[in-house]
Each structure stands twice: as structure tokens, then as C-alpha cells.
Amino acid sequence: MFDTITYAFTKDLPGGPIYRPADPMPHEINSDESDDDTSELSRGRLIGGVISLVLLVATGAYLYLTL
């Protein structure tokens, strides 16, 4: 990931924009890296996945029926 703030300020320079890697955010530094897909599903992650799937299907059905 690159630093979008530096890119936004330098995108109109004659030499082109400056690309630099973004510094990790505090919540990324202090995380225990348990956010990968190989870990076992917790109850909260399962409920969140089901809710997001239902919302995605409902939105798709709504758009299909209205268009």
C-alpha cells in the first residue's frame, strides 16, 4: 500500500507524483495477526459473515427487481 496523502499533494508536479510506502497504522502495529483466513472461525466472525452475505444477496435482488 502506498501513502495516498503524499500522492494527492504531489500528483500535479512536473516530475510526476511521489510514491512512497504508507506507514503502518497503530491498530495494525498492535494486532496479533489473527485476522488471516487460516484461523478457525469464531462465533462473531461467522455471524458477521452471514449478515454480510444476506445484505449482499438482498441488495442484488433489489437491484435486479427494480431495474
- Measured distance CA(39)–CA(5) in Å, rounded: 33
Q: What does the pLDDT read at residue 33?
A: 60
Q: What does the pLDDT read at residue 3?
A: 80
In this predicted model, which residue has the larger pLDDT, 11 or 22? 11
Q: Which helix (H) or strand (E) holds 9?
A: helix 4-10
Domain that holds residue 10: 4-31+40-66
Q: What does the pLDDT read at residue 61?
A: 97
Q: Domain count of the chain?
A: 1
The model's pLDDT over 12-67, given as tens digits with 9 standing for 90+, comes to 889 888 888 877 777 666 666 655 666 677 899 899 999 999 999 999 999 999 98
Q: What does the pLDDT read at residue 15?
A: 87
